Amino acid sequence: MNYYIYQNWQANGMSYTIHKWNCGYCHCGYGMHQNIERGANGVWIGPFNTLQLAQHYFGIIEVPIDQRHECNCCYN
């Protein structure tokens, strides 16, 4: 299973959200609004082979804890 991180610089300041590849918001890193210019609100990063690798990426780029999220649709 692949995971993607959406880096959003528009909603509530900077945030990073981990999504599973088959999430309705993710669509394998293409997002749900394919007709909107890519990069207008953020960027998809990945794929990551495991959830642990996606979480490790947060540490590599030093994302503050309060900006790290997991998608509510994927993880509920």
pTM, entire model: 0.84
For 8-23, how does the pLDDT look when each residue is reduced to its tens digit (9 = 90+)? 988 677 899 999 998 8
Residue 3: Cβ-neighbour burial (10 angstroms; 0-12, 13-18, 19+): buried
- Round to whole Å and give the CA distance between 40 and 70: 21
List the domain boundaries for the chain.
3-75
**What pLDDT score was predicted for residue 36?**
55
Phi-psi region of 40 (alpha: psi -120 to 50; beta: other; left: phi over 0): alpha
- Round to whole Å and give the CA distance between 49 and 11: 27
For 15-62, how does the pLDDT look when each residue is reduced to its tens digit (9 = 90+)? 999 999 988 888 888 787 765 556 778 888 999 999 999 999 998 889
